[in-house]
Amino acid sequence: MKAVLFEKFQEAPKVVRVADPSPEPHGVVLKVEATGVCRSDWHGWMGHDSDIELPHIPGHELAGVVEAVGKDVKNWNVGDRVTVPFVCGCGSCSECHAGQQQVCLHQEQPGFTHWGSFAEYVPIHQADLNLVALPAAMDFATAASLGCRFATSFRAVIDQGKVCAGQWVAVHGCGGVGLSAVMIASAAGANVIGVDLDPEKLALAKDLGAVAAIDGKGDVVDAIAEITKGGAHVSLDALGHPATMTNSILCLRPRGKHVQVGLMLGDHAAPAVPMPKIVGQEIELLGSHGMQAHRYGAMLDMVESGKLDPARLVGDKISIGAAPEALMNMDKFQSVGATVITSF
Nearest to 138 by CA among 341, 315, 300, 336: 300
Q: How many residues does the chain have?
A: 344
What was the pLDDT predicted at 335? Answer: 64
> For 2-149+291-343, which CATH class?
alpha beta
Strand partners, 260: 237, 287
d(C-alpha 236, C-alpha 196), whole Å: 12
Maximum Cα–Cα distance across the chain: 60
CA distance 129 to 90: 8
Domains of the chain: which residue ranges? 2-149+291-343, 152-287
311, with CB counted inside 10 A (0-12, 13-18, 19+), is middle
In 3D space, the residue among 206, 24, 40, 204 whose CA is nearest the CA of residue 126 turns out to be 24
58 closest CA partner among 98, 12, 27:
12
Q: Which residues pair with 36 in a beta bridge?
A: 61, 340
Is-contact 109 124, C-beta < 8 A? no
**Does residue 253 contact residue 230 with C-beta atoms inside 8 Å?**
yes
| 8 A C-beta contact, residue 23 and residue 68 | yes
Chunked in runs of 10, what are the mean pLDDT values of the chain (344 residues)?
97 97 97 93 92 96 97 98 96 97 96 97 97 95 88 97 98 94 98 96 96 97 98 97 97 98 85 96 97 96 95 93 94 74 96
Task: Give the H/E segment covering residue 165.
Answer: none
**What pLDDT score does 334 carry?**
58
| Residues with Cβ within 8 Å of residue 88, at least 6 apart in sequence | 101, 104, 107, 108, 109, 110, 124, 125, 126, 129, 130
Distance CA 197, CA 218 (A): 9
Contact 147, 154 (CB under 8 A): no
Residue type, 192: V
CB 260 within 8 A of CB 193: no
pLDDT, position 338: 84
**CATH number for region 152-287:** 3.40.50.720
Q: What is the pLDDT of residue 149?
A: 87
Of the candidates 277, 341, 283, the one whose C-alpha atom is nearest the C-alpha of residue 315 is: 341
Contact at 8 Å (CB) between 88 and 107?
yes
Angstrom distance (rounded) from CA 90 to CA 87 = 10
Taking 3-state DSSP, the helix, strand and coil percentages for the chain, each rounded to the nearest 5, stand at: 35, 25, 40
d(CA 297, CA 133): 9
Instruction: Give pLDDT, residue 315.
Output: 86
d(CA 223, CA 235): 14
In this prediction, residue 295 carries a pLDDT of 97
- Sheet of strand 252-260, all strands in order from the earlier edge strand to the far edge: 212-215, 191-196, 168-172, 232-237, 252-260, 284-287
Q: Does residue 224 contact residue 159 with C-beta atoms inside 8 Å?
A: no
Instruction: Write down the pTM of the prediction.
Output: 0.92
Burial class (CB in 10 A: 0-12, 13-18, 19+), 103: middle
The pLDDT of residue 120: 98
